[in-house]
Amino acid sequence: MFEVIFTEFKKAPQELVDFLVEKMKDKNCNYRMMFGYPTYFFNGNMLVGVYGDKLFLRLSDVDIASIMKNCSGITAFEPMPGKAMKDYVVLPKNVYSNDRVFEEYLDKSIKYVSSLMPKAKKN
């Protein structure tokens, strides 16, 4: 049998959406709405986005260990409770509002995601 989990979708705070759009405006990434939230992709691979009131980022295992060591409040990205997505972390406001730290890890995310195999386009 299939387990059905219903997740209540929260409207993303406009401040967070605007923040991400501003940070990504000069990046060579593709913008898409995913589940009604702004999300950015490189070669078809998701790298950063908003989900409800959370900002998530895709990082390598080494970079996840680094950000967890150097920044407080980092958690696994779980779009459904108990269903963490590998390579994704949620950045709390104290982390993403620090321009130096956010830019450092955003660049690491772009570097990591650009090293992945491009996703084939679906017909």
Taking the C-alpha atoms of residue 94 and residue 63, their distance in angstroms, rounded to an integer, is 18
Identity of the residue numbered 9: F
Q: Which domain holds residue 53?
A: 14-114
CATH number at residue 100: 3.90.1150.30
Return the pLDDT at 42. Answer: 94
pLDDT exceeds 70 at position 4: no
Domain membership flag for residue 36: yes
Q: How many domains are there within the chain?
A: 1
57 and 64 Cβ atoms separated by less than 8 Å: no
pLDDT exceeds 90 at position 8: no
pTM reported for the whole predicted model: 0.86
Give the H or E element holding residue 37. strand 37-42
Domain membership flag for residue 9: no
Taking the C-alpha atoms of residue 25 and residue 67, their distance in angstroms, rounded to an integer, is 24
Q: Mind listing the pLDDT tens digit for each residue in 55-102?
A: 999 999 999 999 999 999 999 999 888 899 999 999 999 999 999 999
Domain membership flag for residue 65: yes
CB-hemisphere CA count at 13 Å for 82?
5
pLDDT exceeds 90 at position 103: yes
Domain membership flag for residue 5: no
